Amino acid sequence: MYYTYDEVKKYHSSIKSEIDQLLRSLEEKIISARDNDSLPVYLTKYRVKSLDSLYLKTKRKPKPLDEITDCGGFRVLCLFEQDIFIVNDFLCKLLFQDGFRLSEFIVFNWKEQKDKDRLTLSATNNFGPGFIDHQPVKKDSGSLLSRRSSFAAL
């Protein structure tokens, strides 16, 4: 399914504000938890996919616009590996309370992208906080594997 630049522009305009507001709200909650509850977060950053980037993605991967799942992104930086699991647990609980469900769970090694393992969970399930095993997974090489979670609105 191919779109004209104007069609993508109209779609981008309709979602940009909502995604930006959602990500800004998430950032405020994380910063508040960091300041009040000592959540071990060093830095947060979010972005909404640019119009040009969205348009080019429709050319590379022709599918309906509402099926593009990376129109926004949020990054949390922790100083220590063991903090990743504390922050991930906090985010899972926070997003579940805000009406999101986990739609994808990706396990990958931050040092070696080629070792990425992907597990896509069934969209019909409503996974709540606590279902994820937060124990670090060690590889034979001794490197620590990390987890990235993707959430979708209910």
Q: At what angle do helices 5-37 and 51-60 cross, to 10 degrees?
A: 120
In this prediction, residue 83 carries a pLDDT of: 84
Tens of each residue's pLDDT in the chain, 154 residues: 789 999 999 999 999 999 999 999 999 999 999 999 889 999 999 999 999 999 999 999 889 999 988 898 888 888 887 787 788 788 888 888 888 766 655 544 445 444 444 433 333 334 454 444 444 444 455 444 444 555 554 4
In this prediction, residue 57 carries a pLDDT of: 93
Report in angstroms the alpha-carbon separations of 41 from 17, 76, 113. Answer: 26, 7, 23
The structure's pTM equals 0.70
Alpha helices in 50-147 (DSSP H): 51-60, 81-97
**What's the CA gap between 104 and 122, in Å, rounded?**
8
Tokens representing residue 62 in the block: 């022709």
Q: Are 146 and 109 in contact (CB under 8 A)?
A: yes
SS3 content of the chain, % helix, strand, coil (to 5): 45, 25, 35
Phi first, then psi: give them for residue 21, nearest 5 degrees. -65, -45
In this prediction, residue 105 carries a pLDDT of: 56
In this prediction, residue 108 carries a pLDDT of: 46
